Amino acid sequence: MQPKKLKKLKKQFKPTTTMAPSYLERIVGYHKLYDSILPIKLLLNHILNADHRLQNGLEPQPLPTLLLPDNIQDVIFEYVNQQYAPKDPRGDTLWEQLINPLADLDHDLRDFRDYLSSQYGMWAYTNAVFLQDLSTYLAGAPVLEIMAGNGYISAGLRARNAEQVIYTTDDTSWLTENATGNHTVTAIESLDALAAIAKYGNQVAYVIMSWSPDGIDIDWQVLQTLRSAYPQVKFLIIGEKDGATDSALFWQNADLTLVPELNAHYQSFDLINEQVYLVK
């Protein structure tokens, strides 16, 4: 065969590359597949609703724990038996269709936080009800938010009290790893945590810090600074004690108090047990 003809044939039969479905496409696919399995459908509804709200600039609602119930196979078995008589091969086919994806579904439910951080730059899941609780708790007191990320906490407070003085700051260093930081939800001043406290510490009643990176002791430096130079300032944090957030040095030395009124609607939705603390 002549080289030109061979080249032409290769172009004609060039294999098409298919992209793997995105996280949200997989969730939509599960939603269609498990339309009749209520415990699964409800979990997926929560994810789709949260994504829809964030995509449209709205605050998400609280989430339940995004884990499959222990008896989910029993639920599916009962559903299949309601559709087909025993030994009907169509029932076997449906059973396999519903059971085989469960491991992948379980993995994707647990990965919702990763999706939120990569898609929206949201690590602490600051839902609408929690933000109202926080606004009520602060009662209009002036606030400095450090390490604010995209500013979801400050934006929520501003939406509830336009008169409240709120300084929103972040050093924006994380932008090199996550481009979602280019889509902030409120105005953010580019300051690292210590510089922000030095600038605004005498002007605020509260400092708020959420999801300080684990393994980096900037949180401990912040706490020492507040203790020594701004003892009158109250320090609120959101994180997982001895877990996914903040440094070991911080957790070992922080005097922590759980704030009931701020944790009432801030339950964890996955295996990360983040909570709201008042720190001294």
Check whether 57 has a pLDDT greater than 80: yes
CA angle, residues 115, 37, 127, in degrees to nearest 5: 35
pLDDT of residue 4: 45
**All domains in the chain, ordered by first residue:** 23-110 (no CATH), 128-279 (3.40.50.150)
168 close to 147: Cβ distance less than 8 angstroms: no
Check whether 237 has a pLDDT greater than 60: yes
Residue indicated by tokens 């949260």: 50
Please state which of the ranges 15-19, 28-32, 102-106 shows the lowest mean pLDDT.
15-19
Residue count of the chain: 280
Cα distances (angstroms) measured from residue 54 to each of 26, 83, 206 = 18, 37, 27
- Helix (H), strand (E) at residue 158: helix 152-160
Residue indicated by tokens 């008896």: 71
What does the pLDDT average to over 168-193?
81
Bridge partners, 278 (sequence order):
236, 257
pTM of the model: 0.88
Check whether 169 has a pLDDT greater than 50: yes
pLDDT of residue 5: 45
pLDDT of residue 183: 79
Four-residue CA torsion sign, 241, 246, 250, 255: negative
**DSSP-assigned letters across all residues of 85-134:** -TT-HHHHHHHHHHHTTHHHHHHHHHTHHHHHHHHH---S---HHHHHHH
Check whether 14 has a pLDDT greater than 60: no
What does the pLDDT average to over 216-221?
97
